[in-house]
Structure 1
C-alpha cells in the first residue's frame, strides 16, 4: 500500500507541474508544443539521473526511486499528449512541424536520458 501512495503522490505533483509548464509555454509557437516538448525532455533527463543514482549507489531507497521515477516522472511526462499533438499536426497538414517535433522529441529525449545517466555517475 505504501508503494501505491508514493506513486500516487509523485504522479500528482508531476501532473500538476506538467499542466503548469504546458499551459504557460505551448502557445509560444504555432506548430510546436514547446511546453510538452520541454516537459518530456526534462522528464527524460530526470528519470535517467534518478535511475542512474538508484543503480549506481544506495543514495536513493527503492521507495524514493518509486516516488521520483515512477510517480513524479510518470506524471510529469506525457506520451498521450505527445501523440495527440502529433495527430493534430498531421490532420491539419503541418507535415514539417509534425516531423520536426517528432524527431526532435525522440532524439533529444534519448540524449537527455543519456545525459541524466552520465550526470548520476559524476556523484
Structure 2
C-alpha cells in the first residue's frame, strides 16, 4: 500500500463539500413532499451524469491532465452532488405511500435519463474538442 496522498484526500474532501452543498441547495429550491415525484433528485443526478460525461471526455482527450482534476471534480464535487441513496429513498417513499406507478416511472426515468446524459456529455465534449483542435 502506498503512502497516504494528503493532496488527493484534501481535493476529494473540498470537492465533496462543494458538491453536497450544491445538491442540498437544489433540494431546497425544488422541494417535494414525501411520496411525490422527486424532481430535484432526478435533476441533480441527470445534471451530475451529464457533467461526469463531460469530465471523462476531457480527462481522456487531454494528454496530461492535472493529477487532482479527477479526484476534485469527479470524486469530490460530482460524487458529492449526485446521490444514489436519495434516489433510492425517494423511490421507496413513493412506493410505500401507494404511488407504485410513480415509483416505477421515477426509476425508469432516472436510469434512462442518466445514461443518456453521460453519453451526451461525453459525445458532445469530444466533438467540441475535436472541432477546436
Map of 1:101 onto structure 2:
106
Aligned length, in residue pairs: 122
Alignment counterpart, residue 87 of structure 2, candidates 76, 82, 87? 82
Q: CA deviation at 1:62?
A: 2.5
Which aligned pairs between 1:1-123 and structure 2 lie closer than 5 A?
1-27=6-32, 31-58=36-63, 60-121=65-126, 122-123=128-129
Cα 1:31–1:7 shift into 2, 3 Å:
same
Structure 1: which 5+ residue stretches go unaligned? none
CA distance in 2: counterparts of 1:39 and 1:60, whole angstroms: 26
Which moves more between the two structures, 63-72 or 103-112?
A: 63-72
Structure 2: which 5+ residue stretches go unaligned? 1-5
CA distance in 1: counterparts of 2:14 and 2:66, whole angstroms: 17
Cα 1:54–1:96 shift into 2, 3 Å:
same
- Which of structures 1 and 2 has the bigger CA Rg? 2
| Superposition RMSD in Å | 1.5
TM superposition score normalised by structure 2: 0.86
CA distance in 2: counterparts of 1:104 and 1:31, whole angstroms: 14
